[in-house]
Chain A
Amino acid sequence: MSLTHHATAPEGRGSAGGSGPSGSGGTPRQGTVLPRATTVHKIGGGLLDPRVLWKSLPSAFRKLDPRVQYHNPVMFVVEAGSVLTTYSAIAHPSAFAAAITVWLWLTVVFANLAEAVAEGRGRAQADTLRRTKRETVARRLLGWESGQQSPREEEVPGTSLRLGDHVVAEAGQVIPGDGDVVEGVASVDESAITGESAPVIRESGGDRSAVTGGTRVLSDRIVVKITSKPGETFIDRMIALVEGAKRQRTPNEIALNILLASLTIVFLLAVVTLQPMAFYSGAPQSLVILVALVVALIPTTIGALLSAIGIAGMDRLVQQNVLAMSGRAVEAAGDVNTLLLDKTGTITIGNRQASEFLPVPGVGAAELADAAQLSSMADYTPEGRSIAVLAKDQYGLLERNEGELRGAQFVAFSAQTRMSGVDLAGGRQVRKGAASAVRDWIRRCGGNPAAGLGAMVDAISAAGGTPLVVAERTGGTARALGVIHLKDIVKQGIAERFGEMRTMGIRTVMITGDNPLTAKAIADESGVDDFLAEATPEDKMELIKKEQQGGRLVAMTGDGTNDAPALAQADVGVAMNTGTMAAKEAGNMVDLDSNPTKLIQIVEIGKQLLITRGALTTFSIANDVAKYFAMLPAMFASVFPGLSRLNIMALHSPQSAITSAIIFNALIIIALIPLALRGVRYRPSSASALLRRNLWIYGIGGLIIPFIGIKLIDLIVMNIPGFGG
């Protein structure tokens, strides 16, 4: 929402009961109840569909190419180890060597499978997108100028359009490329990219001018100025994004990789140096066992799942209809300290609603309500509807249909008159509109606005509401009946949501064009931490810079061209898909639903991504303890019988103990793929609470689970000939 609309709110068209296409073209999905975080995390159920795994298998094998595998240092070590054991198993065949070799290879394949499954989901989406990107024929206009009546046009393939070309699209035609509408208004079906079937209005000028190539014009005719080069359109970028083609590692992922690589080096060194010590102790180990020990110790679980977690995190955003232009932005979302939230659509529902009828002295409340209802009959804006609803609720006035009143003439709202109303057959005229406009009307009709009217109007303005004056003319002169109090309605559950944000350590700032008084009233009611009233884009920019200077990360949404600098400056800038191309270019995310509330979910998805990484890292490292207890006694108890006391799992034989540890190590990867793709459960809470919870589950759980798992596998493996010991 552009701020300038609200700056003039009390007298502006949005609040004066106006109607027209622009009123409904904005945010197609604005529920009054916010979606809960849990709805985010349900997405991706049924991930371990065997068919998905099967389909991803070829890709998993292709990734075994060392030139690809090398990008994942941990799994590269496992692959190198697998090659060594393969050689060893061929040179000195045994059931044990064969089993270890097979399971080591499986470990690598499972890791690649995790990545392949994650990528596969993106690829499916990319295919859907590609289908919409069929070859289009563009009607290019030659030498188009604004207002030209019948420009010359030629038909060219959509792919040959250049920046700055003008094309025309009419009902039923596909818009050939990204651009801004420069002439006309049209309803456009954008379901190809947003999945939303309701058409949206696109018009020249203002903040709803952007159109996306591949969408279809449903009615009317528009002229579009092309703003993207072929191959770099919005859809092209979306395809690249969901496919992960240009996926770059995020800073946090790099840091984690450094930690994992250094742990790998330490364990590699620990095992390499073990052999001389083992020789000295009279218990030299076979190559197969040493490789198995390395693989068991290095953090294979997180190493295998790390890239899948990253891809899946981006994917979760896509499923929320948010396109992140970089993984870095998703990560930054988890770090955000300050959320700048536009009042309208985020904190309040999009439109103001009637809350009260205030009659002038000498007029009954019911009379005022009746007149208000009459005047709103042909007003289908949410404000107009809310007046009818209030009249019905408070005074039992049933809604009248237009047809009921024979001979009535309805007066539609216009920007010039800033009034709407009805002329009844009996000569009675009822008007409703902005205070100054209605007062003028009364004076023109020879009446005098009532004495108390001015004070009532001012009082409502001061309280943060919008006053609409109702007047009627019976006989010759007009008189004011009273004032309707239009109020911003704060969304249900938003205060709770802000409370959650506070416990997460995130400060919420409401941005509004309203005056400070109005802003304060809404801020108090919604529980937002702070507000910026009468905000201009410059104010917003300044606020962002100030927060950033204090070391805080800022997230915001925006759609207008004048939001573009702030969107670019913010650490997380979410552009509304309905907005201008400039805004979309400036932000690092685009919300296809154009729902400003989405910002909160984006933050949660960012956090969930980091938590999943941390949890699985902790789990992976904690696992090592059990593996040591399985493998070291198996390796050395023959020489130092005392060490068999470390065999606390009472594993059957050295062969079965080592094999079981390796099998567990491989299977745990498969078992955790769903978790990696879905992300760990996340509920907004304080850092301490989150830490305690995750530490219990993934730290302590990571210590205990492998003891149980290895023992269970051992109970099976011990029955296989060659492992009985």
Chain B
Amino acid sequence: MSPALAGWLQVGLLLVALGVCWRPLGDYIARVVTSASHWRAERGLYRVMGVDPAADQQWGAYLRSMLAFSAISVLFLYGMLRLQHYLLLSLGMPDVPPALAWNTAASFTTNTNWQNYSGESTLGYLVQMSGLAVQNFLSAAVGIAVAVALVRGFIRSRTGTLGNFWVDLTRVTIRVLLPLAIIGGLVLAAGGVVDNFTSPHTISTLTGGHQAMVGGPVASQEVIKEMGNNGGGFFNANSAHPFENPSPFTNLFEIFLILVIPFALTRTFGAMVKDKRQGYALLAIMAILWLASVAGVTFFEAQHAGQAAQAAHAAMEGKEVRFGIPGSSLFAASTTVTSTGAVNSFHDSFTPFGGGIVLFNMMMGEVVPGGVGAGLYGILILAIITVFVGGLMVGRTPEYIGKKIRPAEMKYAALYILTTPAIVLFFAALSIALSGPRASILNPGPHGLTEIMYAFTSMANNNGSAFAGLTTATTWYNTTGGIAMLLGRFAPQIFALALAGSLARQQAVPASAGTMPTHRLLFVGMVIGVILIIVGLTFFPALALGPFAEGLH
């Protein structure tokens, strides 16, 4: 079997696995967030939190709960990192310095998991497990909660209420993420991912040197790292590390974990709005763009310009031999179209266009399929923009899922799509203009520009994957990165919830033959067009000076 065939069989297998899970998982999540009954354990938690689970919140209250929860999470994590020295299982690691602690706290609370440190030499087990891993669950749950609130905006009429944030958060964590993480963690452990509390082994290497082999509770963290679209590795090498991702099987399974929830949420959407076709349409948009980027990255990485690549018959620099081009490309494309940011290869070493595509994947705003929850609310807002322009062309005030897109809705949708590009461009341009931050660039020329663009695109879009090649462990990047991650996460969420509130107050409009259909292929094509054109037009100058300038000879 040729490597190319094996690669495509791998994609086929992944598609089958995702297809099998799409419906049951999506329907299950829909049931979880719409069910009227509470589990006993949940009731206990509500009592502890002092929450009345029956109380529906207005969008403002929902937002305040979400922001308060996230603020506490940032502070708690920051505290843990700063005081690591005093904690159990610290493995003797010192306190994390302020700028790095700020960056890391912001990073894990915002589901970004940008890491300006290497896990094995900076953090002890307790911080990894009860600080970072807990945030891996909760930040993912917050994303799903906001998405569910937005969907409720579509299905509710003449009410300002969007459900209860605390209930959504608790249920998604306990009923969805935890059970799946347990199953996934066992599969990973069975596949060879380590999971222990042993102290570092010191071994002698072939060349006679010594190396500390750090183990740790890896599998349990690896599963939520992928499934929650977090991406923060236990080890610096992330999913390229053999303890995190030992074999082609675990590689494929991790990719499956990355994609399974974001895709399934389109089914949840279809089930909640009681029109499955709407879910299929969103699924089609996401699947087409994801597959296109997988094909694109694989195509460019399989090319072999340059001596080293010719010898290897592919651009193998920075890739693991056990994954090869297909396994690395599939992982790279999947981790960047979702907000995961885990890596099993060095994106910095990709060909100019291969690296350009993974950069573009993030520029699309993490919507195909995007982060857990974030992908759904992102694509819904892009669908609203599309419906607005398309709906005008059928001669009616545009409407989506029975709700009109009026000035208020347009305002929030426009602010949403404006925010992330603004953050990216602002910080990237500033970093290039200032001599200090500019000095962090490793490779001069267009590639260096791509490195900076990649860093801020990754942080503002809450992806967290690093292009590498840029020294970001500086006060400037720690600080601005933290701001970019927080703004890039919460400003869009504020607009999404405000939009949801505005939609929920509206009277629903019944569909008729005069309504623009949003479940047909034409609409799928239109949304894809809108995504590509808006992103393309916004970032084309930067892409031209980066990947295009580097790749076109």
Contact B432 A277 (CB under 8 A): yes
B410 CB, min distance to chain A CBs, angstroms: 4
Contact A262 B389 (CB under 8 A): no
Contact B395 A606 (CB under 8 A): yes
A689 CB, min distance to chain B CBs, angstroms: 9
Docked Cα-Cα span, A266 to B547, in Å, equals 21
**Among B421, B429, B515, B544, contact of A636 (Cβ-Cβ < 8 Å):** B544
Contact A259 B429 (CB under 8 A): no
**Among B537, B540, B549, contact of A640 (Cβ-Cβ < 8 Å):** B549
Residues 41-83 of B contacting A (Cβ, < 8 Å): none
B500-523 contact mask (Cβ, 8 Å, vs A): 1 or 0: 000000011110111111001010
Answer whether residue B390 sits at the interface, using C-beta atoms and an 8 A cutoff: yes
B residues near A682, Cβ cutoff 8 Å: 395
B411 CB, min distance to chain A CBs, angstroms: 5
Residues 604-648 of A contacting B (Cβ, < 8 Å): 606-608, 610-611, 613-615, 617-618, 621-622, 624-625, 628, 632, 636, 639-640, 642-643, 645-646
**Among B394, B430, B446, B449, contact of A687 (Cβ-Cβ < 8 Å):** B394
Answer whether residue A708 sits at the interface, using C-beta atoms and an 8 A cutoff: no
By beta carbon, the residue of chain A nearest B431 is A276
Contact B513 A504 (CB under 8 A): yes
Docked Cα-Cα span, A550 to B509, in Å, equals 7
Docked Cα-Cα span, A42 to B70, in Å, equals 60
Answer whether residue A281 sits at the interface, using C-beta atoms and an 8 A cutoff: yes
Q: Given A266-B538, A281-B545, A614–B421 Cβ distance below 8 Å?
A: no
Docked Cα-Cα span, A687 to B396, in Å, equals 9
Contact B513 A502 (CB under 8 A): yes
Answer whether residue B426 sits at the interface, using C-beta atoms and an 8 A cutoff: yes
Residues 200-250 of A contacting B (Cβ, < 8 Å): none
Answer whether residue A463 sits at the interface, using C-beta atoms and an 8 A cutoff: no
Answer whether residue B209 sits at the interface, using C-beta atoms and an 8 A cutoff: no
Contact B552 A646 (CB under 8 A): yes
Docked Cα-Cα span, A323 to B508, in Å, equals 30
Binds A, one of B115-123, B213-221, B255-263, B412-420: B412-420
Residues 101-127 of B contacting A (Cβ, < 8 Å): none
Docked Cα-Cα span, A271 to B421, in Å, equals 12
Residues 543-574 of A contacting B (Cβ, < 8 Å): 549-552
Docked Cα-Cα span, A348 to B112, in Å, equals 67
Q: Given A273-B429, A642-B548, A642-B553, A610–B522 Cβ distance below 8 Å?
A: no
Contact B552 A645 (CB under 8 A): yes
Answer whether residue B405 sits at the interface, using C-beta atoms and an 8 A cutoff: yes
Contact A505 B514 (CB under 8 A): yes
Docked Cα-Cα span, A582 to B422, in Å, equals 54
A residues near B390, Cβ cutoff 8 Å: 614, 691, 695
By beta carbon, the residue of chain B nearest A548 is B507
Contact A688 B520 (CB under 8 A): yes
Contact B407 A279 (CB under 8 A): no
**Among A277, A335, A507, contact of B396 (Cβ-Cβ < 8 Å):** A335
A654 CB, min distance to chain B CBs, angstroms: 14
Docked Cα-Cα span, A640 to B446, in Å, equals 9
**Among A259, A275, A610, A695, contact of B385 (Cβ-Cβ < 8 Å):** A259
B532 CB, min distance to chain A CBs, angstroms: 10
B residues near A640, Cβ cutoff 8 Å: 446, 545, 548-549, 552
Contact A504 B514 (CB under 8 A): yes
**Among B393, B410, B512, B520, contact of A698 (Cβ-Cβ < 8 Å):** B393
Answer whether residue A470 sits at the interface, using C-beta atoms and an 8 A cutoff: no
B residues near A607, Cβ cutoff 8 Å: 394-396
Answer whether residue A337 sits at the interface, using C-beta atoms and an 8 A cutoff: yes
Residues 372-395 of B contacting A (Cβ, < 8 Å): 385, 388-395
B521 CB, min distance to chain A CBs, angstroms: 11
Contact A632 B513 (CB under 8 A): no
Contact B392 A611 (CB under 8 A): yes
Contact A280 B552 (CB under 8 A): no
Answer whether residue A83 sits at the interface, using C-beta atoms and an 8 A cutoff: no
Answer whether residue A334 sits at the interface, using C-beta atoms and an 8 A cutoff: yes
By beta carbon, the residue of chain A nearest B417 is A262
Docked Cα-Cα span, A203 to B84, in Å, equals 94
Docked Cα-Cα span, A642 to B537, in Å, equals 20
Contact A610 B395 (CB under 8 A): yes
Q: Given A277-B542, A640-B446, A265–B395 Cβ distance below 8 Å?
A: no
Contact A274 B541 (CB under 8 A): yes
Contact A259 B388 (CB under 8 A): yes
Q: Given A281-B549, A606-B395, A690-B393, A266–B541 Cβ distance below 8 Å?
A: no
**Among A331, A614, A639, contact of B393 (Cβ-Cβ < 8 Å):** A614
Answer whether residue A252 sits at the interface, using C-beta atoms and an 8 A cutoff: yes
B residues near A699, Cβ cutoff 8 Å: 529
Answer whether residue A256 sits at the interface, using C-beta atoms and an 8 A cutoff: yes
Q: Given A615-B393, A687-B394, A259–B514 Cβ distance below 8 Å?
A: no
Residues 280-327 of A contacting B (Cβ, < 8 Å): 280-281, 293, 297
By beta carbon, the residue of chain A nearest B546 is A277
Contact A505 B512 (CB under 8 A): yes
A506-517 contact mask (Cβ, 8 Å, vs B): 1 or 0: 110000000000
Contact B389 A618 (CB under 8 A): yes
B297 CB, min distance to chain A CBs, angstroms: 20
B302 CB, min distance to chain A CBs, angstroms: 21
- Centre residue among A632, A636, A639, A640 by max chain B CB count within 10 A: A640
Answer whether residue A94 sits at the interface, using C-beta atoms and an 8 A cutoff: no
Contact A269 B393 (CB under 8 A): no
Docked Cα-Cα span, A280 to B439, in Å, equals 12
Docked Cα-Cα span, A686 to B394, in Å, equals 8
**Among B417, B426, B533, contact of A621 (Cβ-Cβ < 8 Å):** B533
Q: Given A625-B533, A636-B549, A687-B514, A695–B397 Cβ distance below 8 Å?
A: no
B residues near A271, Cβ cutoff 8 Å: 541
**Among B510, B516, B520, contact of A551 (Cβ-Cβ < 8 Å):** B510
Contact B414 A262 (CB under 8 A): yes
Contact B522 A255 (CB under 8 A): no
Other A-B pairs beyond A607-B394, A617-B392, 19, CB < 8 Å: A255-B406, A258-B411, A266-B418, A273-B426, A273-B542, A276-B432, A276-B433, A277-B432, A279-B432, A506-B512, A610-B395, A614-B390, A614-B392, A621-B389, A632-B540, A640-B552, A642-B552, A646-B552, A691-B516
**Residues on B close to A: CB < 8 A?**
385, 388-397, 402, 405-407, 409-411, 414-415, 417-418, 421-422, 425-426, 428-430, 432-433, 438, 445-446, 448-449, 507-510, 512-517, 520, 522, 526, 529, 533-534, 536-542, 544-545, 548-549, 551-553
